[in-house]
Amino acid sequence: MPSGGGGGGGSRGGGGQSILDDSTKNVYGPQTTLHFYEHDILYNKDSVRYLVDTGLTNFHRWMPMDKAWGKLADLGNHVTASRNLLFQPREDIGTQLGLRSYDAYAIKQDEVAYVDTKSQHTELDFMSGPKKTSLGTFAYTQNVHSRFNFGMRATRLTSNKIYGFANTIGSAALLGRNWTFLAHTSFFSKNKKYLILAHYRHMNMKVSEQGGVIPNVDEAGVVDKYSYDGAAKISDNANSWERRHVFHVYQQYRLLNGFQVFQQADFQSTIDHYTDLSLTRGRQKGIYPATKFDTSQTRQDIYYKLFDNKVGIKGFYEGFNYRAYIRQRFYSMRGGAQSVNETGAPFATYRTGLKFDNIIGAWLGYYLKDSVQYLTAEADLNLGKNVEYRLKAELNTRWGKAGFQSIQTAPDLLVQRYLNNHFDWRNNFDPTKVQTIFASLVLKTKKIEFVPEAQIHQINDYIYYDTAAVPRQLNAGFRLLRVGFNSGIHLNRWNFTTMGYLTLNDNKDVMRIPTVFASGEVTFDFVYAKVLFIQLGLAARYRSSYLADAYMPVTQQFHLQNNTRLNENVVVDGFANVRIKRVRLFFKMSYLNQGGNFGLFPKGYYVTPDYLGLARSFSFGINWPLFD
C-alpha cells in the first residue's frame, strides 16, 4: 500500500539563510529538503535520503485508524485506546512492560526523521474533525552547518465525547488529550568517520474513560441499539493518564573502510495512572469487578524505567553486510493500589526490583549489485533465565519475498505481577513461542500490480486476558493462517488500491480475529486552472462479524468476552485532497453510508463491544510547509 503522509526533513547547507539565483527565485524547496532514518545508517546506507512528501495520495488519512487502513480497533473515537485487528508477532526480545493501548498515538523510533537541509524548514498542520476533534502540529528544522542539523516537532491532538454527559463549555466535554514532542539532532565529522544521532520523544496522553454507552429505551421498552446520545457506563470522574519519555542516541565510528563500531542507547520512563473517584455507576453496570480496598474510588499507579544499551561492530565486505553486538537492558516496575496516605485508608505498593537482560545478536545480509534483491539472516539470544531468542531469515527479490521467523518472548511485567482495587495476581508464565512462515509474490504490469501473500503462525504458550480481564496462559499450541493480497491499478487519472485478508484460526477460544477484512479506495486526479491539483476519492473498509475483545479501562487491556458479537459492517468515506503550490488541504465526509431511508445500512456500528463508532461527520485539514 502507498505510504501515507510524510514528515518534514531537509537537505543541509550553510547557515540556513535563503539563497537566490539570478532570476531572484528561491532555490530552496521540497527537492532540497531531505531526511534520513537511523535504520539507513545501521544498515550501511549512509547516503540514502528521502524527499519531503508533497503528494496528495493518503493525505486525508490523518488519524491512526485511517493511516492503518482500518486495521485497528479503538473505542469508537479518536484519542482512545486501540489494538491491532490482525495478529502480528513480536520482532524484538527483552521483557516489556505490557502497556500498549496508546502506542498508536506515540512517536516510534523508526519514525524519527533526521533532517539534511540547506535552509530552515517549517511545517504547520491543522486538522479539524468530528466532535471538535482537532490536531495542531508545529515542526521546525535548521542546519547549523552542512554536517550539523537539529529540529523539533510538537503536536496537540484532542477529541470530545460522543455520548454521555458532555458540557460543551470547558474541559468536561473533552474525551482524549494527546501531546507529543520530538527533538532531534545529527552530526557528521568532517572526514565522515564519526556520526551521532540523538533524539528525545515524549507522549502525554489523558483519556476520560466512559466504559461504553448505555442504550436508550423508549416508553414501549424498545432499545435503541445505536444511541449516540446515550449515557456513559462510567462516571465523569474516571480517567486514564500516561506519560512517556524516551532519550535515544546512536553513534558510530569508522575504523577502517567497511568496518565500524557502533552504539545504540535508550533511557525510557513510563508513568501510568487510572483514577475513578465515583465507582458506583461503573460497578452497577458491570465494568468493574468487586473492590478489594475501597468501594467509593479507585487509584492505580504504574512506574516503569528502562535503560537499554547496545554496543557492537558492523560493516560490509564484497556484497556482504554484517553486524554483531552485545545488548544490556536494565529495567524495573513499581506499582501502587490506592493513594499513599496517613489517614488510615487502605493502600498497597509493590515492585519488581531491578532486573536485567544480557542479549547477544548478529545480523548478516548479502546484497546483489542493484541492492533490490538480498538475503538476510539474524539471531538474538537472551542469556538470562528468561531464555528468549529470535531467529529470522528473509529473501527479497523483485518477484517477491519469503521468510521464516522463530521467536520466544518473556511474559510482560504486567501479567507477572499486578495489584489494585479490583485485581490481584502473581503469575509465573512460560515464554510464548511463535514460528512464522511468510511469503508474497509480485505480479506486475505497467498499470497493474497484484501482490498475493500468505502467513502461517504456530503459536505456543499464548498469553491472553480472559473474560474476567485476568491474564491466562494456554499451555498448548494452535495455528493461524492468513492469506490476502495488496493491489494497485493505475489507469490514467484513475487509481484503485485495495487489500484483503482471510484469517483461519483453529483456536478461537483464546484469540478472536475477523475472518474477513478488506480495505481500499478509488481516486480520480486532475488539474484545474493549471495550478489547482485535485484528487477526489472514495474509501471503504469491511470487517466480518466476530466476538470482538472488550476493554478493561483499569488495566488498559483488551480481553475476551462471550456476550456480544459485532455485526459485519462496511464504512464508506468520501474525500478530496487539494494542492495549491505547496499548500495541501483535504476535505472528508466519513461514514457516508450511515442509515438511510431505505434501511440498506444500519444507523451505526460498534468498533469494540459497547463502544459505538463515529457517526457521519465532516473533517478538513491543511499542511503548510515553509522552506526558508
Q: Which are the contacts of 224, defined by CB distance < 8 A and separation ≥ 6?
A: 215, 216, 217, 218, 230
Cβ–Cβ under 8 Å, residues 55 and 372: no
pLDDT at position 535, please?
97
pLDDT at position 600, please?
77
Q: What is the average pLDDT across 523-530? A: 93
Q: State which H helix or E strand residue 414 sits in.
A: helix 413-416
Mean pLDDT score of the chain: 90
> pLDDT-derived band of residue 29, with 50, 70 and 90 as boundaries?
confident
Match 496462559 to its residue by C-alpha cell.
473
> pLDDT-derived band of residue 172, with 50, 70 and 90 as boundaries?
confident
pLDDT tens sequence across 563-612: 999 999 999 999 999 999 899 999 999 999 998 666 778 889 999 999 99
DSSP string, 557-617: EEE--SS-PBPPEEEEEEEEEEEETTEEEEEEEE-TTS--TT-SS-S--EEETTEEPP-SE
Beta bridge partners of 62: none
pLDDT at position 168, please?
53
pLDDT at position 19, please?
36
pLDDT at position 167, please?
52
Q: What is the average pLDDT across 309-327? A: 92
pLDDT at position 409, please?
96
pLDDT tens sequence across 603-626: 899 999 999 999 999 999 999 998
Q: State which H helix or E strand residue 239 sits in.
A: strand 238-256
Q: What is the average pLDDT across 405-432? A: 95
Q: How far is C-alpha 85 from the chain's CA centre?
A: 12
Using CA atoms, how far residue 465 sits from 4, 273, 432, 468, 558, in Å, is 33, 20, 14, 8, 7
Asked if residue 474 has pLDDT above 90, the reply is yes
CA distance 520 to 149: 39
Give pTM, 2 decimals: 0.91
> pLDDT-derived band of residue 166, with 50, 70 and 90 as boundaries?
low
Cβ–Cβ under 8 Å, residues 233 and 246: no
Q: Which are the contacts of 344, defined by CB distance < 8 A and separation ≥ 6?
A: none
> pLDDT-derived band of residue 147, with 50, 70 and 90 as boundaries?
confident
pLDDT at position 218, please?
83
> pLDDT-derived band of residue 22, with 50, 70 and 90 as boundaries?
very low
pLDDT at position 256, please?
83
| % pLDDT > 70, the chain | 93
Q: What is the average pLDDT across 58-68? A: 93
Asked if residue 183 has pLDDT above 90, the reply is yes
pLDDT at position 8, please?
35
CA distance 554 to 300: 8
Asked if residue 6 has pLDDT above 90, the reply is no
Strands, E, within 432-493: which ranges? 432-441, 443-444, 448-465, 471-491
CA distance 109 to 262: 17
pLDDT at position 173, please?
85
Radius of gyration of the chain from Cα atoms?
25
Going by the DSSP 8-state scheme, the letter that residue 369 receives in this structure is: T
pLDDT tens sequence across 352-364: 989 999 999 999 9
CA distance 268 to 261: 24
Residue 403 grid coordinates = 521468510
> pLDDT-derived band of residue 169, with 50, 70 and 90 as boundaries?
low
pLDDT at position 361, please?
96
pLDDT at position 24, please?
39
Cβ–Cβ under 8 Å, residues 454 and 483: yes
CA distance 425 to 350: 12
pLDDT at position 550, please?
96
| % pLDDT > 90, the chain | 74
pLDDT at position 376, please?
94
Asked if residue 130 has pLDDT above 90, the reply is no
Length of the chain equals 628
> pLDDT-derived band of residue 476, with 50, 70 and 90 as boundaries?
very high
pLDDT tens sequence across 350-393: 999 899 999 999 999 998 776 678 899 999 999 987 689 999 99
Q: State which H helix or E strand residue 284 sits in.
A: helix 280-284
pLDDT at position 439, please?
97
- What is the rounded (10 degree) CA torsion for 556, 562, 563, 565? 90
Q: What is the average pLDDT across 515-524? A: 97
Beta bridge partners of 625: 123
Cβ–Cβ under 8 Å, residues 386 and 331: no
